[in-house]
Amino acid sequence: MALRCSLSDWETNKNDFEHVIHDPHNWNKIPLINTIPNYELHDHQLVRFRGMVQYMYNPEYFMAQYEVEDNSSKVKVTRSGRYRDVIQCAPNEKVVENRDQSIEERQVFYCITTPALNDWVYQQEKKLGLQQQETESVSSKVCDATTKRQIEDEPMDTDHLNQEASSLPQISTSSATVQEPKRFFAGNSMNNSGSSACHGLSLNFPIDGSHGIACLVKINDSDSLPSLKINDLIDVVGFLSLDPSLAHVPSSMGTEAENLAENPPPSIVPRLHAVTLQKVTHVNLLPNNLDDIYKTALKTKKELHFVLTQMLLGDSLAADYLICHLISLVYMRKDGLALGHFSLNLSNLPQRPDYTRLLYSVLERLLPKSHYLPMTLENMNTLSFSPKMDYEANRLSSGLLQLSDNTHLIVDETRLEAGKLDASGVVNVQALRTLITHQIVNYDFQYYSKPYDADVPVLILSEGKSLLPCNMLVSLNADPSCLNTLPEIFQAANHFLREPLLTEIRLYLSVMRHSDYEFPEDLQKQAQEDFVQMRQTGGQNVSAEDLHLLLVLARLVSLSNGEKTVSLDAWEKAKRMEAERKSRIDIQRGRAVQPANEP
């Protein structure tokens, strides 16, 4: 059953309701608008929204309290402007002009459905009962000593029946007519595309063709809530604002495009007045007790390694590296370096046009957030990779690389064809290189660029060595017999990845990725001694970068085993993996130069 709370009851018993809402059991019962058709939502309804901060507007000013006077009786009543976009003023009332009125500001964030969110995560949210037809009153959970009134099943809050359209940040005092409660329809929330042709409004999704919703989140009490920045993932609870008059707010400043961007139709972009929010680290909903996941980590890794080895055509080493890549993240930034990122280039792939798509079709079943990018000439020349400031609309136009942390980007270089990159294509390639190398994305503000930190693991699929830089190049050593049964291999892999194993692997990847770890001092000393020996053997071919990557690999090997402390076994395995990987590269290079040496 979904929890319900009216705005008037919230204002009367705020502290009690806050205690109820922050109970995790009750939090998940609040209707999630990501999974609910808009026609089932109503004005001033308590709802949740999960998504990404795409842009931050300037603060918005509003009357926190104001007085209205009845024209007949001259009785004055004080009303609140918090959690509302329009002033409550009936036709027989007027707003009392008072210089001492309380004017406050609230932060405004333009938020969108999490980019590159895979469908199984969306289905997971629905299955948890976040979309419920039955409702129960939050008031019933609040102590009777403080809450005297039970919330009825009537779906509307009665304190908003008489409202007025007012411009924000401009404050208007003209009255509006009384109207009956309404529900508003804008189609199914997850079927809204990236733009609304009827209104000429783009929802500003980074990935073309994405489906989801956009929402203007307004925060009144910013001091009591976590500070937010662009690309943060949030789970916010608040009161919905769907009054149609918000689409016709006049603007004395700015262009028509700017007014449309800042005041879009609420049926397309609803407003949500936050009462509380949480930052989201991972979108895969984890159980409260993670001990069992650590206990079964080795078993789960073995199952995952088996299926990845089959998908990689019998290559066990490539499967080891791919597991490490899937649980990698930037755990620290120091001296301009993103420590922990682990980009991977799987090369020497079979020249089969369907292989990379088949490989990605399985990966997207395992990863909560991922995007497949065919590196075609058309995509590189026509897509916008870096976000760019649109000064006409006064908002940030999103780009393909505006992704939240831990979103996996799979670049398919096998689709690259002969041709010439235009100026836009060159800029896009440079943006990809910067992301892979430094884990930052430079946002284009026309007169200058500003770097934003990113944590986007990049997997490059190529036939030869990639044109893009990467941390690890693994040349695939495919079993030739597997090439004749490629469709059957992936059919078997998808059949193998059934419940409960599929959920176990998903949880394993999420938990291992965000696990803390320790690197014991004695092992650090061992690593330094081994590095000295490698320098003596390999000479100038061994650099400090090799040591850093080896330390990162050892960390990932330990985490993949469910170990929070890097072990000697993990260090030794990382060394063996690197030795075999480099040996393959040397053999591949020897094959490449051999024909040139022949008479």
Q: What is the pLDDT of residues 282-324, one digit of tens each?
A: 888 777 778 889 999 999 999 999 999 999 999 999 999 999 9
Per-residue tokens: 580: 């075999």
Q: Write out the DSSP string of 378-390.
A: HHHHHS--S-EEE
Q: For residue 275, which of 32, 60, 18 has the smallest C-alpha distance?
A: 18
Residue 343's pLDDT is 97
CA distance 433 to 212: 29
Tell which residue, 45, 87, 47, has the closest CA to residue 63. Answer: 87
Residue 194's pLDDT is 58
Q: Is the pLDDT of residue 199 over 80?
A: no
Q: Which helix (H) or strand (E) holds 67?
A: strand 60-70
Residue with tokens 């009367």: 12
Lowest mean pLDDT among 327-331, 370-374, 483-487: 483-487
Q: How far apart are CA 468 and CA 458, in angstroms?
A: 11
Residue 336 in tokens: 């301009």
Residues 221, 226, 229, 231: what is their CA dihedral angle, to the nearest 10 degrees?
-120
Helix axes 297-311, 355-366, angle to 10 degrees: 160
Provide the pLDDT confidence category of residue 40 given band limits of 50, 70 and 90: confident
Q: In this predicted structure, what is the pLDDT of residue 2?
A: 62
Euclidean distance between CA atoms 115 and 136, whole angstroms: 32
Q: What is the pLDDT of residues 235-268, one digit of tens each?
A: 999 999 988 877 766 555 667 777 777 788 888 8
**18-27, 55-64, 419-428: which has the highest mean pLDDT?**
419-428
Q: DSSP string covering 247-268, please?
A: GG---SSS-HHHHHHHS--TTT
Residue 393: name the closest of 113, 202, 230 by CA. Answer: 202
Tokens of 211: 């489906």
Which one has a higher pLDDT value, 573 or 129?
Answer: 573
Q: Which tops the pLDDT comparison, 253 or 373?
A: 373
Report residue 197's pLDDT band, with 50, 70 and 90 as the boundaries: very low
**What is the pLDDT, as a whole number, of residue 178?**
32
CB within 8 Å of 227: residues ≥ 6 apart: none
Q: Distance between alpha carbon 533 and the CA centroid of its chain, in Å?
A: 43
Q: What topology does CATH give the domain 290-498?
A: Rossmann fold (3.40.50)
Indicate the domain borders of the chain: 1-130+209-280, 290-498, 516-598
The mean pLDDT of 266-284, rounded to a whole number, is: 91
Percent pLDDT > 90 in the chain is: 50
According to DSSP, residue 58 is labeled P
- 81-84, long-range: CB within 8 Å, 24+ apart, which pairs? 82/11, 82/220, 82/273, 83/7, 83/10, 83/11, 83/220, 83/238, 83/239, 83/273, 83/275, 84/7, 84/160, 84/163, 84/241, 84/273
Helix, strand, coil distribution of the chain in percent, nearest 5: 40, 20, 40
Sign for the CA dihedral angle at 456, 457, 460, 461 comes to negative
Asked which of 9-13, 168-172, 266-270, 332-336 is least confident by mean pLDDT, the reply is 168-172
Q: List C-alpha distances in Å: 100 to 167, 171, 262, 503.
A: 20, 14, 28, 58
Residue 131's pLDDT is what? 43
pLDDT tier, 449 (very low <50, low <70, confident <90, very high otherwise):
very high
Residue 305 zone, left/alpha/beta (φ > 0; ψ -120 to 50; rest): alpha
* In the predicted structure, residue 160 carries a pLDDT above the cut 60: no
How are beta strands 458-461 and 344-347 bridged, if at all? parallel
Higher pLDDT, 460 or 395: 460
Cα–Cα separations (whole angstroms), residue 14 to 19, 81, 142, 340: 9, 15, 11, 43
Q: What is the pLDDT of residue 165?
A: 33
- pLDDT the model gives residue 209: 82
Give me the pLDDT at residue 164, please. 36
Q: How many Cα atoms occupy the beta-carbon half-sphere of 106 within 13 Å?
A: 23
> Comparing C-alpha atoms, which of 476, 531, 517 is closest to residue 329?
517
